[in-house]
Amino acid sequence: MEFCGECGSIMLLKGDGKKKYLACARCKFKKKEVTEFKLSEEVKVNDNPEVEVVEGNVETHPKVKKNCSKCESTEAYFWAIQTRAGDEPETEFYKCVECKHQWRENN
């Protein structure tokens, strides 16, 4: 990709047959005749990509220090959702890392 030296716009490939040149779409500036050009770049594709297979339930929420009322664990997963009007605080949800007990706190 080349840019116009006059106005900075992208230069377009113009011409017919064997006579090709670069021309600016905005100010009509023409650049020298192009004898060789590439329309796309080559990209190497891996024919045998390795895909990691994860079995089971993978938790994606961050862990925070929070006491579980069921098992007395001190770690829980955390997420927050806006469950009420936009001018009220969001609802915080927790899930115990050990026993998977879930609860919410409205602030």
57 alpha-carbon distance from chain centroid? 23
Q: How many CB atoms lie within 10 A of CB 11?
A: 19
- Catalytic hit among 42, 47, 50, 87: 87
- Catalytic hit among 6, 33, 72, 88: 88
First to last CA, the chain: 54
Is 87 assigned a catalytic role? yes
Is 41 assigned a catalytic role? no
Answer yes or no: are the C-beta atoms of 29 and 43 closer than 8 Å. Answer: no
The phi and psi torsions of 37 (rounded to 5 degrees) equal -145, 155
d(C-alpha 26, C-alpha 14), whole Å: 14
Residues with a known catalytic role: 87-88
